[in-house]
Structure formats: structure tokens, C-alpha cells
Amino acid sequence: MSHPRPAPGSVITISPLRTLDEVAAMRAAILNHPGPTTARDAALFAVGVRTNLRASDLLNLKSTDVDWMTGLLTVRESKTKKVRHIPLSPDTIALLAPLSGSEYLFPNHRSGKPMTISTLNHLVKLWAIRANLREGTYGTRTLRKTWATLQVTVFKVPVYLISQQLNHSSEAMTYRYLGIQTEQVTELYARDI
């Protein structure tokens, strides 16, 4: 699945995973290709879709950012400088536990330093191909957008709460980020009345 390079200056809209089935397919795609980084990648994917962290914050997480007794993740966001405390599920803690011995939770497997954003971008695209997700453009932002999209469309969380958690300045910004409003307007005019 090779996409042509976009023209310089063009806008690329990164797709979220829109259903729990797509999340399960991507998780399975990671787990069905065992290798030296499978545990890291499975945990990275889980934390990515369960916490709404930006890629740079996700990749710079350290073992010391997790309170292993309470399951609380503490992050100082690089963009906003806000400190966030995010409760992690027992399943997420279990996925992270094997990684707790290294300084960074998601290190480059060769250097031990944080994985780069370009490496994460490559991984997400690879996982999408392996999961046979052909509709959409996937990349680092897919993880964060998946969290937000599923909260709104599947779990029916009000957009104002999601907007706050994403640190967006307005609900309108969140609607644009998720691409929800465009889809809803299209559906309105597609109905025969």
C-alpha cells in the first residue's frame, strides 16, 4: 500500500481508527507479528489510544512517570506545559510492566533512547497495513485521534469534555480535529425527506 507523496504545502488529514473492531484489528496485527519489539509496540499502541497524549509526550514517557502501585501516569505536556495525571487501566499497567526496567517506556531497541516520531509514524502505517486498514491515512496522530473519536462516537462522551482533555481552545476546534462535523453535515443532506 504505497501512497504518492503529497504536494508541498498540501494538508494531510490523518485518520483515526473509527471503531472498536479497527482497534482490535490493529492490536492483533501487532501481536501476530512476534519479534523483539512486540511487547513494546503493544504497550505503545495501548497507551497511545487510551491516553490521548501527543506523540512527543508519549515517546518521552519514562518508567518514573508511572506510579506502579496506583496506576497513575503523570505527564508534563511539552506543548502546553500543563501537568496531567492520567489513571491507567490494570490491563495497560500489565502491558507496561515488562518495560518498567528501562529508563524510557518506549525506547529505540538499539539505542535505548526515546523512539523518534518518524519511527512511530512508520510503525503506525505498518500496523495499519498489517491490520488491512485500507481506508484512510494513518500516522502518529492516529493514536490520539482514535481516543477522541471513540469517546465521542462510541462512548457518547460530550464534545466539551473531550475538547478539555485535548487542551483545545474550543469545541469547534475539536469538531474540526475529529472531522465529525463534516461527516454529520453530509449525512444530513443524504437523507430523503
What pLDDT tens digit does each residue of the chain (193 aa) get?
455 666 777 677 899 999 999 999 999 999 999 999 999 999 999 999 999 999 999 999 999 999 999 999 999 999 989 999 999 999 999 999 999 999 999 999 889 899 999 999 999 999 999 999 988 999 999 999 999 999 999 999 999 999 999 999 998 899 889 887 666 667 767 777 7
Angle at 73 between CA 72 and CA 74, to 5 degrees: 115
φ and ψ at 84, to 5 degrees? -120, 145
- The CATH code of the domain that includes 79 is 1.10.443.10
Q: Grid coordinates standing for 38?
A: 512486540
What is the total count of domains within the chain?
1
Tens digits of per-residue pLDDT, 74-115? 999 999 899 999 999 999 999 999 999 999 999 998 898 999
Specify the pTM: 0.89
Residue 34 domain boundaries? 20-157
Whether 139 maps to a domain, the answer reads yes
